[in-house]
Structure 1
């Protein structure tokens, strides 16, 4: 099959690209070309801005595809534009959405696909839900969709750590440990996060898209592993052979900050059902890779890809402000996390 992947070098999309390539498909990737060091062999990469209509039209040209998998649409206007440009280029459009689309319900024990969407707590989730609505309303006889709602997904480029969005700040946790900086942590670090490794996520996306049951449907893809910030931090300090300082701040204090509030209230600590996908895939629904057991790959990636590691200065300043303000208010609890291992060579 001819597969177009819009994105291709992100947390999940990199693994999806590799999976389709490994299964012998003809894979084309469109992205801005900012992470060429993540390109893999026997894949066609085209540099272009997929969120710009003229650029997208230019790079796609007269090509047609069996499937288009879109990782990079975050608002309804862009979704409308992409459908206008690409609906004649394929008959199956796969939109990578997020479990963040669900409207937050304090009574919900576990979110399922038939629950209301339109997250009023997190703009990211709300905008993704608007994209879904546009796609659903556009599907027709010759244009079908599948909506994938990944849960919290981890891999070499992303370490989950509440309340810090380490996707926006890659390498930040590693940097803090090595530099001896205090690490902002929610509550006492024991809030659970439901996670899946990105390689398993890619396998599940691929296997699901090989079925007829996926057409014009949406699916949560979520893990069976539940981990805490404390577990992640302990694993990191052990791997790096360096002690760390956790700064525990209560949830009610953190939600006062506009940068942190969406991550706390928007869905990081909720549970999401994966039953619908499991009923279709059975034993092919994979959750075999432990995120905790594979944190070393994230550390190695951060240390070996300095060009990727970085974060906005404003984000670091915001985190430092929260820590210092919590100290002044008597809301900060500092705890030293001891490594069980000796420091590694050059660390």
Structure 2
């Protein structure tokens, strides 16, 4: 099949492109060319910028594809331009959204049928922590309006795996590898992430089997104690969000960590039942951790929780205890 990918050089898009090529499909990628990625040589790479509206899509003129995968649609202006321009030129429009669209992120579990945030206005173009979710709600609505049954909306949870440049999940396999006393909180709270490679494989499945609908994409769910045991962490100093607060530390300083009872605690309990029934397969958590660590060894990631800050917090906590 011939597939158009909008974006595709970074984490999620990269693994989608690689999965499509591995599946024997012909891939055309449209991007702004700002991220240089070592993608398969067979990928046709075109330049374009949807921020310029239809004019930014001129490289696609006169072409058609069996499906489009929109990885880089963040604003209504971008998505309206591509959705309408490609109408009649692509068989299925697959839009990569986010679990950040959900209005009540303290629900357990979070389901595809849960209420969404109020949509952002179509003229909003600034993507911030506050506008990200509402913008994606509006983008989803545009895709559904234009394509109706010929669209698929995918809502990934926290994504990781090789090429994860975000200073979040990779912190933990890297931190365990460094050794010494590891600061961690909430041993009975949960961590749940989705391997980007699993998203790639599911996108291939969606396109090949012409699957429509809405799907949360989330991975296996482990307690923090199970997760750090999996990583072979030997010396862990376990604390609680309450103890952190008592020494003037916000639990957000610990990458990825969300207490189950926090306002966003449901993000670590996102149901993947619907996607698994449609063919989502999940990489074992240990393999995700090992492969992410192997990649990050040669990458200079900068983490917000520095060794110095961790030592400072440990000293405060030990004094308190």
2:161 maps to: 155
Structure 1 gaps of 5+ residues are: 159-165, 335-347
Equivalent residue runs for 1:191-270 within 5 Å: 191-212=189-210, 214-215=211-212, 217-223=213-219, 225-233=220-228, 235-236=230-231, 248=239, 250=241, 253=245, 265-266=263-264, 269-270=267-268
Structure 2 gaps of 5+ residues are: 120-128
Secondary structure of 2:269 counterpart: coil
Classify 1:74/1:259 alpha carbon distance in 2 versus 1 (closer, same or farther; 3 Å): farther
Offset at residue 131 of structure 1 (A): 1.6
Secondary structure of 2:11 counterpart: coil
For 2:169 and 2:257, how far apart are their aligned partners in 1? 19
Classify 1:299/1:130 alpha carbon distance in 2 versus 1 (closer, same or farther; 3 Å): same
* Candidates 293, 296, 304, aligned match of 2:290: 296
Secondary structure of 2:65 counterpart: coil
For 2:142 and 2:253, how far apart are their aligned partners in 1? 28
For 1:285 and 1:178, how far apart are their aligned partners in 2? 30
1:341 maps to: none
Secondary structure of 2:304 counterpart: helix
Deviations 1:69-96 (A, max 9, x none): 0111223333223324333532421101
Equivalent residue runs for 1:72-83 within 5 Å: 72-83=72-83
1:16 maps to: 16
For 2:253 and 2:141, how far apart are their aligned partners in 1? 27
Secondary structure of 2:49 counterpart: coil
Equivalent residue runs for 1:322-333 within 5 Å: 332=317
Secondary structure of 1:139 counterpart: helix
Secondary structure of 1:36 counterpart: coil
* RMSD over aligned Cα atoms: 4.0
Asked if residue 316 in structure 1 is aligned to residue 312 in structure 2, the reply is: no
Q: How many pairs does the alignment contain?
A: 303
Asked if residue 129 in structure 1 is aligned to residue 137 in structure 2, the reply is: yes
Offset at residue 21 of structure 1 (A): 1.2
Contact preservation (8 Å) 1:152, 1:194: yes
Classify 1:268/1:49 alpha carbon distance in 2 versus 1 (closer, same or farther; 3 Å): farther
Classify 1:297/1:261 alpha carbon distance in 2 versus 1 (closer, same or farther; 3 Å): closer
Deviations 1:96-152 (A, max 9, x none): 11222212164x332222221118996433332222122223335xx8321011233
Offset at residue 50 of structure 1 (A): 4.3
Secondary structure of 1:72 counterpart: coil
For 1:323 and 1:128, how far apart are their aligned partners in 2? 39
Offset at residue 321 of structure 1 (A): 7.5
Offset at residue 316 of structure 1 (A): 2.9
Offset at residue 28 of structure 1 (A): 0.9
Deviations 1:217-256 (A, max 9, x none): 2112233x21244544455566xxxx87768561684669
Q: What TM-score results when the alignment is normalised by the length of structure 2? A: 0.74
